[in-house]
């Protein structure tokens, strides 16, 4: 039997130090068109929805305000076409002027007089006080609106839900709470409509506070978990790093020129 080694003319893949990378499979024209179409939806969708909501809000305010403006002051009286947003501008100016007038003594006296008249009306009194308290809480500069996001076990043990922490109970409500633990008011919005949900009081020890903003929590709820706060922070860090790298060559240019 011959013991001579057998040499092959074909190169061995194991002995080759470099292996050419396998090229990715070519995508068909159908797949490319589908990817382009989905990319177009992602880009145009938010722009179209934002433009539609903005246009709807402008027309809504114009429909409320323009009937109270005399025809002599309307732009369409002198132009062939109406100017959208004129009623919104008048409304913003009127609200700012109203806030300026109520900030002084005379305007405050007139406001107190009007509230006194409303306070004597049985049905309107309760409605006005409730609506006023809500507006003062949400829009006041020193209001106590939602500022903290937390986690609670709901609807069953081991299932965690996003909640927004509100003001703690006060007065008789706080004294009626069982136990010695401090209670907090939480609002658990529903997905994808955060304007509806559940409101309840819980011991503070049963709430896990999160280090994310209310805006990030709302995005997390409305997107059903698709938009994560950590992903937004990573994108912000990458954008900041890109800006820093963009300015570095400009700062080093004089040094290179001097050398």
**Could you read off the pLDDT of 188-238 as tens digits, one per residue?**
888 877 778 888 888 888 888 888 888 888 888 888 877 777 655 666 666
Residue 180 · residue 203 · CB < 8 Å: no
Query: Does the pTM exceed 0.85?
Result: no
Which of 13-17, 65-69, 169-173: highest mean pLDDT? Answer: 65-69
Q: Which H/E stretch holds residue 126?
A: helix 122-139
Decide if 120 is inside a domain.
Answer: no
What is the overall mean pLDDT for the chain?
A: 77
Block residue for tokens 């997390």:
220
pLDDT at 53: 92
Task: Give residues with Cβ within 8 angstroms of 162, minimum separation 6.
Answer: 149, 150, 151, 188, 189, 217, 220, 221
Tell me how far apart the terminal alpha carbons of the chain are, to the nearest angstrom: 75
pLDDT, tens digit, 9 for 90 and up, residues 150-182: 888 888 888 888 899 887 777 777 778 777 778
Q: How many residues are listed for the chain in this entry? A: 259
Decide if 49 is inside a domain.
Answer: no
- The arrangement of strands across the sheet holding 160-165 comes to 197-203, 183-189, 160-165, 148-153, 208-210
Q: Which H/E stretch holds residue 153?
A: strand 148-153
Decide if 105 is inside a domain.
Answer: no
Decide if 115 is inside a domain.
Answer: no
Q: Which two tokens stand for residue 59?
A: 């027309």
CA separation, residue 243 to residues 93, 147, 250, 252 (Å) = 38, 30, 12, 15
pLDDT at 247: 58
Decide if 131 is inside a domain.
Answer: no
Decide if 214 is inside a domain.
Answer: yes
Decide if 203 is inside a domain.
Answer: yes
- CA-based radius of gyration for the chain: 32
Domains identified in the chain, total number: 1
Decide if 132 is inside a domain.
Answer: no
Q: Which domain holds residue 224?
A: 148-232
């Amino acid at each position: 039997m011959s013991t001579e080694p057998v040499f092959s003319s074909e190169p061995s893949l194991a002995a080759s130090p470099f292996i050419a990378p396998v090229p990715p499979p070519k995508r068909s024209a159908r797949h490319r068109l589908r990817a382009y179409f989905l990319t177009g939806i992602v880009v145009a969708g938010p722009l179209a929805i934002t433009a539609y909501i903005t246009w709807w809000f402008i027309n809504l305010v114009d429909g409320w305000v323009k009937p109270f403006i005399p025809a002599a002051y309307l732009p369409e009286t002198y132009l062939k076409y109406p100017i959208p947003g004129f009623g919104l501008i008048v409304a913003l100016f009127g609200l700012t002027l109203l806030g300026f007038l109520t900030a002084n003594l005379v305007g405050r006296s007139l406001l107190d007089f009007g509230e006194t008249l409303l306070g004597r009306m049985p049905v309107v009194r309760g409605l006005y006080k409730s609506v006023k308290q809500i507006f003062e809480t949400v829009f006041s500069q020193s209001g106590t609106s939602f500022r903290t996001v937390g986690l609670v076990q709901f609807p069953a043990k081991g299932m965690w839900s996003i909640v927004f922490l509100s003001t703690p109970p006060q007065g008789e409500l706080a004294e009626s709470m069982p136990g010695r633990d401090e209670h907090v008011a939480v609002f658990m919005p529903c997905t994808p409509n955060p304007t509806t949900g559940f409101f309840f009081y819980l011991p503070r020890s049963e709430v896990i506070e999160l280090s994310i903003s209310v805006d990030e929590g709302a995005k997390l709820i409305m997107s059903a978990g698709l938009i994560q706060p950590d992903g937004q922070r990573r994108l912000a860090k990458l954008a900041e790093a890109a800006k820093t790298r963009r300015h570095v060559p400009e700062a080093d240019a004089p040094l290179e020129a001097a050398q």
